[in-house]
Chains A and B, each alone.
Chain A
Amino acid sequence: MPREVVRFRHLKSYWPLYLLLVPSLALIAAFMYFPAFSGIYYSFFRWDGDELATFIGLENFHRAFGDPRLGYSFIVVGILFVANLFKMIPSIVTAVVIHRITSDRLRYVYRLLFVVPMVIPWMVVVLIWKFFYDPILGLLNAVLRPLGVLDLLGLGPFPAWLGEARLIIPALIIWGFPWIGIIGVLIYLSGLEKIPSSVYECAELDGVGWLGKFFYIELPLIATQVRINLVLMIIGVLQGFDMILVLLGAEGGPEGAGLVPGLYMYYAAFIERRAGYACAIGILLFFVIVILTYINNKYVRVET
């Protein structure tokens, strides 16, 4: 829907709109801007995270551009980003399947059931995944070994998914199987709920099959939600590092195979206390995110 245009001369009657923005902006101004701007500010400094800061101009950026490790970290995150595009699919499918349950009560139950795992603490998730990948006791090898997949790939009987440089990215991709992001599912669902049932009915009469309904009706009509989830995913993947930190350690595993920019930033800021450099990485990362978000917002559009 195009938004209503309020012109300058209308402000006489529309000024209360600005009032509605005040609480939001006030909190942001109070708590968000100083930290964010200090991040930008300190990216031009050699800064230890405390009061000692030496202005060094663009040296941090200069260094960042010459830092092969940072370059590699962007490649890693690029691969993860592409993988995550595919990892969005199960959420969409799940949302659609839930949505298509005809009984209101069952749909409620399913939604609830799917939401419940959100309470699973991070620590338990990590525990499970660590043991999933464990070379000797782990489930992954236990499943793959009898299937002959390990031999086929030439990985030996006990590949260390988190301990071998070449296996780290595959492990990070497998991570989270079956890749159902619950918040994503809910966002899709609330988009799906808004599709009038008459559109479905019409599609049914037009002879749209279950697959066609997905591609022709549901997917285009939840484009807004896909866009939202894409943005969340972009932010999550590019800024995120918690999972890699616990799985692989602060260095991102052997050869830094899992070193993503966020983790590198964390490492620089907290392990090495080169907070200025971390801020500079943050700024670069920020530009990449902005560009991706922009592309996403421009090209993923509801066609209404």
Chain B
Amino acid sequence: NHMRGRGRVGEREKTVLRIAHWQLEPGIREALDWVIGEYQELHPDVEIRQILIPEEGYFRWVNTQLIGRTAPDMIECGLGGSPELWRMFYARYFLPLDEYVDEPNPYNQGTVLEDVSWRETYFDDMLGGYEETLQTYFRVPLSAFTLRLYYNADMVGEVWDEDERGTPFPRTYEEFVELCELLQEQQGEGFVPISGSSYSFDRIIHVYRTALTAGYHDRLDTDYDGTVSRLESAAPLFSGRLDMREEGAIRATFELLREIAEYSPPGATAMGRDEADFLFLQERAAMMPTGSWDYSSLMERAEGQFTLAVAEMPLPSPDHPRYGPYVTGPPTEAHTQGAFPFAITRTSPNADIALDFLQFASSLKYNEALNEQMFWLPAIGEAQPREELEPFTPRVEGYAQTVEFEAPGTAMSFRHTLPVFLAGTHDYETFVDRYMASFRRELPDQGVPEHIRDMNRTLDQQKRYGSIRRAAISGAAGADAILTGDPAEQHMRIMEAYVGQRASRDHEVHTWVEHARYYHEQR
């Protein structure tokens, strides 16, 4: 209890830390409390309190707390707001962790991970905590999430004979479509094969877009940081170097999505999660794509009614006449979700303790135990997930996301036009025309032209530091030789490079310069 111990006679004043997150469902808080309790055993002079903020107000809460400089020591990141916003938050308000990630996690002492750098203890090399554009680590993920297709095994079994087909569930997209047809035929009106909401649809889009357009990676990663940021993909779309009408892969992606939409409830893109759950649990739908976080609750709710099973979203086989040529492979499940990631605020007077606690929570032993309690997947590679969660184990191999259609500032246009296209109201050309029209109208305000203009100027710098950084991160032999020596100096250069890239947005400049200066002063 947070009140206890504060005024205990004769005891030294405790150092109080706060940790804020939005996981209010039962179990999470208790699990976290348990870890905190364990930690406080070790450090009796520290008290850590949880601040639970409902999802509804989380972003506004974070926003005001950060701006008001009243934020707690640790904050769960990523909910609400655009990626650019969070990036800005990281740069401005959060502590970079770069210098720690390459050191071993002290709490792993005595385990197999004793000598492994903190970063490498993660199943994904801590990519979930890495901010590519800033080329900096800010977050400490404590869990992992993966997306799966849940299905009603009884219902599917009726039309999908495992013995005959060889698998309990379609393995390819072609079979999947067949299954949908069969289900629809059998169940008739008032039934949809796939239940979905705007929430799950975003995730489906991600899967298929990555699977079909992974080939664009080399073309679009113009700053060679290893990922295609939204600006990087928006720039060619804007300039016309990447024409949605011409690119077969992109067209195929959207057409595939439209096909899936046909098997989903009408207007699924506007539906909420609860409605999707209702359809699925009341057996008006046979399948529902959602994340591992839902597993325990769906299991509980389906129990006694139907058998719940889980599969991966099936991809088109290379033989698929329409999509086959474009399919490269599944998306990687490294860092697909923020996965309970915490960052330490700069205003925290006890950043060292906060870091220590997060290391404690991400140590092999406690991360495993924590996730065991939360019914989630642990983030540490060697940690064992619960048995039930086996099907969700993240698949690190795979492709990273490339083309991102929602550029900063155009997300609204995308969400306006896509549902209409998915609903079959008009054809692909019209959709592209409409979307590109507002895309062109709105993007100029978002720094994309500047990005394009400044690209070349900054590219050299970027390349140089990028490669240095990557070399350092991957521990490449001889990297030290290239380093200029002082890591602070090095970091500042990188930040300046980013700043140069966005120089036209003077307030941004301010931010980045400030960030760089801060970092410098810390040394």
Q: A46-B507, A159-B266, A160-B265 are in contact. Are A136 and B412 (CB under 8 A)?
A: no
Q: Quote the shortest CB–CB distance from B234 to chain A (angstroms).
A: 14
Per-residue contact bits, chain A 122-136, to B (CB 8 Å; 1 contact, 0 not): 000001001100111
In the complex, residue of chain A having the shortest beta-carbon distance to the beta carbon of B418: A254
Q: Does B279 contact A49, Cβ atoms closer than 8 Å? A: no
A271 proximal to B (CB < 8 A): yes
Expressed in whole angstroms, the Cα–Cα distance for A50 and B66 within the complex equals 9
In the complex, residue of chain A having the shortest beta-carbon distance to the beta carbon of B408: A272
How many residue pairs between the two chains, A and B, have CB atoms under 8 Å in the bound complex? 116
Q: Does B267 contact A135, Cβ atoms closer than 8 Å? A: yes
Q: Does A135 contact B265, Cβ atoms closer than 8 Å? A: yes
B63, B267, B282, B408: the one contacting A162 at CB < 8 Å is B267
Main secondary structure of the interface of A (DSSP, over half): loop
Q: Does A163 contact B270, Cβ atoms closer than 8 Å? A: yes
Q: Quote the shortest CB–CB distance from A67 to chain B (angstroms).
A: 9
A238 proximal to B (CB < 8 A): no
Q: Does B278 contact A254, Cβ atoms closer than 8 Å? A: no
Q: Return chain A residues, CB-CB under 8 Å to B67.
A: 49-51
B284 proximal to A (CB < 8 A): yes
Per-residue contact bits, chain A 185-216, to B (CB 8 Å; 1 contact, 0 not): 00000000000000000000000000000000
Contacting chain B: which of A1-9, A227-235, A245-253, A286-294? A245-253
Per-residue contact bits, chain B 391-413, to A (CB 8 Å; 1 contact, 0 not): 00000000000000000110110
Which of A254, A270, A274 gathers most chain B CB within 10 Å?
Answer: A254
Q: Does A137 contact B416, Cβ atoms closer than 8 Å? A: no
B353 proximal to A (CB < 8 A): no
B66, B82, B267, B507: the one contacting A163 at CB < 8 Å is B267
B39 proximal to A (CB < 8 A): no
Q: Does B265 contact A270, Cβ atoms closer than 8 Å? A: no
B172 proximal to A (CB < 8 A): no
B282, B423, B438: the one contacting A254 at CB < 8 Å is B423
B92, B267, B411, B417: the one contacting A160 at CB < 8 Å is B267
Q: Return chain A residues, CB-CB under 8 Å to B508.
A: 52
Which of A127, A130, A136, A164 gathers most chain B CB within 10 Å?
Answer: A136
Q: Return chain B residues, CB-CB under 8 Å to A240.
A: none
Q: Quote the shortest CB–CB distance from B86 to chain A (angstroms).
A: 11
Q: Does B423 contact A163, Cβ atoms closer than 8 Å? A: yes
B246 proximal to A (CB < 8 A): no
In the complex, residue of chain A having the shortest beta-carbon distance to the beta carbon of B510: A52
Expressed in whole angstroms, the Cα–Cα distance for A52 and B419 within the complex equals 35
Q: Does A48 contact B278, Cβ atoms closer than 8 Å? A: no
Per-residue contact bits, chain A 43-83, to B (CB 8 Å; 1 contact, 0 not): 00010111111100000000100001100000000000000
In the complex, residue of chain B having the shortest beta-carbon distance to the beta carbon of A162: B270
A165 proximal to B (CB < 8 A): yes
Expressed in whole angstroms, the Cα–Cα distance for A10 and B122 within the complex equals 80
Q: Does B272 contact A158, Cβ atoms closer than 8 Å? A: no
Q: A137-B278, A137-B284, A256-B416 are in contact. Are A272 and B267 (CB under 8 A)?
A: no
Expressed in whole angstroms, the Cα–Cα distance for A69 and B67 within the complex equals 30
A63, A135, A272, A274: the one contacting B266 at CB < 8 Å is A135
Interface residues of A (CB under 8 A from B): 46, 48-54, 63, 68-69, 127, 130-131, 134-137, 156-165, 248-249, 251-256, 267, 270-274
Sample 20 A-B pairs with CB under 8 A, ordered by A number: A49-B63, A50-B92, A54-B506, A69-B412, A130-B274, A134-B275, A136-B192, A137-B275, A137-B284, A156-B266, A157-B189, A160-B270, A163-B423, A251-B411, A254-B420, A255-B417, A270-B60, A270-B63, A271-B82, A271-B411
Would you list the 5 A-B pairs with minimal beta carbon distance, nearest first?
A163-B267, A160-B267, A52-B507, A254-B419, A160-B266
